[in-house]
Every structure is written in C-alpha cells, then in structure tokens.
Structure 1
Amino acid sequence: MGDHIYKKVEVVGSSKVSIDDAIAQGIERTSKTVNNVEWFEVKEIRGHVEDGKVGHFQVVMKVGFRLD
C-alpha cells in the first residue's frame, strides 16, 4: 500500500433540526460530487434566529478526501 495524498474543501452544512443533522447534510451533499470523502473537522458552529428561537443551524467544516 502506497502513501495517500489528501485535499480539503470547506463546506457549510445547514439544518433546521440540529447541529448533527447539519454535519450529516454537509457530508452527504459533498459525497455526491467529491469522490473518496474520508473525514471532516468542524471549524465553526452558528445559527440563525427567527422570532427568538433557533431557525436553523450552520456548521462550517473542512472535508478531507483522498486524491485518486
């Protein structure tokens, strides 16, 4: 097995449900257009407030994938 080379892209996942769901949505969508997605790291968590309540969550993350 040889060495692997990786690249990272930054994505923002969004969800009205939870932080976990925002992460899952971001990874799922990224995996549809980027091959070999293998890991992620959360850089920032934020949200949008509507009428004094959380309207939706946003998670900024770096997603790592192995180059072919």
Structure 2
Amino acid sequence: MTDNTYRIIEVVGSSTTGSDDAIANAVERASKTLENLDWFEVIEVRGHIKDGSIEHYQAHIKVGFKLNGPAA
C-alpha cells in the first residue's frame, strides 16, 4: 500500500433535476480545476422551494485529492 497525502476542499454543486446531479456537477467542476481527485463526501443536501415545488437542489461536498510530488 502506498502512503498518500490528500488535500480536502469543499464545494457546492447545484441542479434543477436532483441531488445526485448536484453532486455530479460539483465533482465535474472540481475536476476541471484540480488533479488526482480520489473521493468525495456529502456534507449536506439542501434546496430552494418555489410555489410549493423544489426549484433546485444544492449538494455541499468535500472532495479529496492526492497531492503531487514526493512526500517530504
């Protein structure tokens, strides 16, 4: 097993179709900026209600990614 060191960031994704899509949008966007994404953890799911219906979903997640380079 390799010793890895990770950095963790928090992001919030949103979607009008569901919480799973909000999570996927958050991960997809993070992957455009960060390398070595390895895992995510859902912290919170929330949304906006308009006229008695869900208008959009938000997913607050932590994303872990391996740091580049040799360990110090």
In the TM superposition, what is the alpha-carbon distance from 1:3 to its structure 2 partner?
1.3
Counting matched residue pairs gives 68
Please name the residue that 2:24 is paired with: 24
Q: Which secondary structure does the structure 2 equivalent of 1:7 belong to?
A: strand
For structure 2, the 5+ residue unaligned runs are none
Post-superposition, which runs of at least 4 consecutive aligned residues in structure 1 deviate over 3 A?
A: none
2:40 is matched by which residue type in structure 1? F
What's the TM-score once normalised by structure 1's chain length? 0.95
Distance 1:5 1:35 in 2: 13
Q: Which secondary structure does the structure 2 equivalent of 1:27 belong to?
A: helix
- The structure having more radius of gyration, on CA atoms, is 2
For structure 1, the 5+ residue unaligned runs are none
Identity %: 54
Please name the residue that 2:50 is paired with: 50
